Amino acid sequence: MRSRPSAAEPDVAAGGLVSHVEPGAALRAGLRVGDRVLSVGETPVRDVIDWRWLTDENHLTVTADRGGAELTVEIDRAPGEPLGVAFETPVFDGVRECDNACIFCFVAQLPRGLRQGLYVRDDDVRLSFLTGNFVTLTNIGEDDVARILEQRLSPLHVSVHAVDPAVRRRLMCLTADDNALAILDALLADGIDIHAQVVLVPGINDGPVLAETLHWLQWRPGVLSVGIVPMGFTAHQRRWTRSYDRTGAQAVLHLTREWQTSMRAERGIGWLYAADEFYLLAEQEVPSWSDYDSFPQYENGIGMVRAFSQELAVPRDMDVRATLVTGELFAPILCALTLRAGLASVDVLAVENRLFGGNVTVAGLLSGADIARAIREHDARRVGPEGTYLVPDVVVNSDGLLLDDVTAAALAGLAGADVRLIRSDAGSLTGALTDLNRRTGP
């Protein structure tokens, strides 16, 4: 490892900050937590995709910055030996933001005073590949397309919304020429697979417009799945006062079932999947496990209710005093599941979202203040001994912060109760209830 002074102060936006190094080749060579990786060989590293792409050799020359000094790290590893290097963020040169002004943009509807990161409207194709974020493809050019094809960034997750040009202009308020569909066609033609998303806005891109969009996507075999989700709105805007009601949701589901029947005959999969919220709004049972195929749109809120319901396996007649905290949308489902499991001493607390208001009812968008308020009010109504409140960890980010910057550690004090965060899957809930039962049992 050689060291020399940097010619200038390091650019904090350049390179990837190393957050962890497993024992192995990179650690042996001298790479350390806190180093900022700048390049591999002569090629700058812009993100973890570049890192993976450029480090596929057994001998590597890595240039890094350590406290203002450049280091050259020569790494030799055995064939197949992992480097074991993790970075603080997946992209090193800043997240590419959206250039559009979509009329349904949720970020544009946020209240003031939240932490700055919540107002970032990411539209970065790299995050589409790495983490499944949906992007519009309206802000990428020839160089981006060439990189996607060279590094085979597939599958991508793309928000299509509509294919009718006039409807796209109305929905997305594009600030530049709309080449997204042409780019999408070029990627598909070169073997890049796509999971598509359509955010439905009542009366604008549903009905015949949605049918046109689906037909356009159907003719492209590389479109692996399509998810349709309802527009969400908060109380901090004046454009929207409603989204989908029971009747509107039923109409969407009727169209969904027609398409699924057709696509199962054609491709052997449902292909089109509606958000869980549509089924809950329509007061219809969510589809069976097999109807979701491989759950290709799970992270888009599609199939989560079915997966949770099927995987929950709490021992019957468990005598544990606990309250399950969730949003208003999922609360009825959770109530039915606890009754089915015979958990008579387990309550479900549906928390109203006063931070956002509007039609925001999911657990993942609850604030610390709203959760704490609901718990305090619930405790005031409680009859019998106190219990434990179990809160799904989807309410916090990777730094352990809720939307209003309340920390996970501070939530119990704010609520004045025994509050515990658990993972949001059914297995974790089963484990938490079993553990409480063991602690309080005879």
With helix as H, strand as E and coil as C, how does 129-176 read? HHHCCCECCCCCCHHHHHHHHHHCCCCEEEECCCCCHHHHHHHHCCCC
Q: Which residues contact 7 (CB under 8 A, 6 or more apart)?
A: none
Mean pLDDT, rounded, of the chain: 91
Domain 2-87 is in which class? mainly beta
- State mean pLDDT over 430-440: 79
User: Percent of the chain, pLDDT > 90?
Assistant: 80
Question: For 107-308, CATH number?
Answer: 3.20.20
338 falls in which pLDDT band (50, 70, 90)?
Answer: confident
Q: What residue ranges do the domains of the chain occupy?
A: 2-87, 107-308, 312-440
CA distance 172 to 161: 9
Give the model's pLDDT for residue 32: 95
pLDDT class of 383 with cuts at 50, 70, 90:
low
The arithmetic mean of pLDDT across residues 418-425, rounded, is 93
Is 312-440 in CATH node 2.60.40?
A: no
pLDDT of residue 380: 77
What is the tens place of the pLDDT at every residue in 275-306? 999 999 999 999 999 999 999 999 998 999 99
Q: What is the pTM of this model?
A: 0.89
Local structure of residue 66 (DSSP, 8 states): E
Say yes or no to pLDDT of 11 above 80. no
- Residue 313: which pLDDT band, with cuts at 50, 70 and 90? confident
- Give one word for 32, left, alpha or beta, with left for phi > 0 and alpha for psi -120 to 50: beta
Residues 89-98 have a mean pLDDT of: 93
Segment 425-435 mean pLDDT? 88
Residue 173, CA atoms < 13 Å, CB-side half-sphere: 8
What value does the mean pLDDT take over residues 194-219?
97
312 pLDDT exceeds 90?
no
Q: Which position has the token pair 């610390």?
A: 368
Residue type, 192: I
**pLDDT at position 441:** 54
pLDDT attached to residue 175: 78
φ, ψ at 176 (rounded to 5°): -150, 175
At 115, the amino acid letter reads R
The C-alpha atoms of residue 233 and residue 237 are separated, in whole angstroms, by 8
Q: Does the pLDDT at position 5 exceed 50?
A: no
**Among 49-58, 114-123, 432-441, whose mean pLDDT is lowest?**
432-441
Selection from 312, 307, 254 nearest residue 279 by Cα: 254
**C-alpha to C-alpha distance for 404 and 237, rounded to whole angstroms:** 19
Mean pLDDT score, 64-74: 93
How open is the CA angle 187-192-194, to the nearest 5 degrees? 95
**In the chain, % of residues over pLDDT 70:** 94
For residue 356, is pLDDT > 50?
Answer: yes
Q: How confident is the model at residue 271 (pLDDT cuts 50, 70, 90)?
A: very high
**pLDDT given at position 173:** 87
Asked if the model's pLDDT at residue 1 lies above 60, the reply is no
Maximum mean pLDDT: which of 191-205, 298-312, 325-339: 191-205
pLDDT band at 181 (very low <50, low <70, confident <90, very high): very high
The first and second tokens of residue 106, run together, are: 């949720």
- Averaged pLDDT, 134-144: 94
Classify 438 as helix, strand or coil.
helix
User: Which pLDDT score, from 0 to 100, does residue 382 have?
Assistant: 64
Lowest mean pLDDT among 112-116, 137-141, 383-387, 436-440: 383-387
Residue 7 has pLDDT above 50, yes or no: no
For 349, phi then psi, to 5°, come to: -110, 110
Report the pLDDT value the prediction gives residue 6, as an integer from 0 to 100. Answer: 34
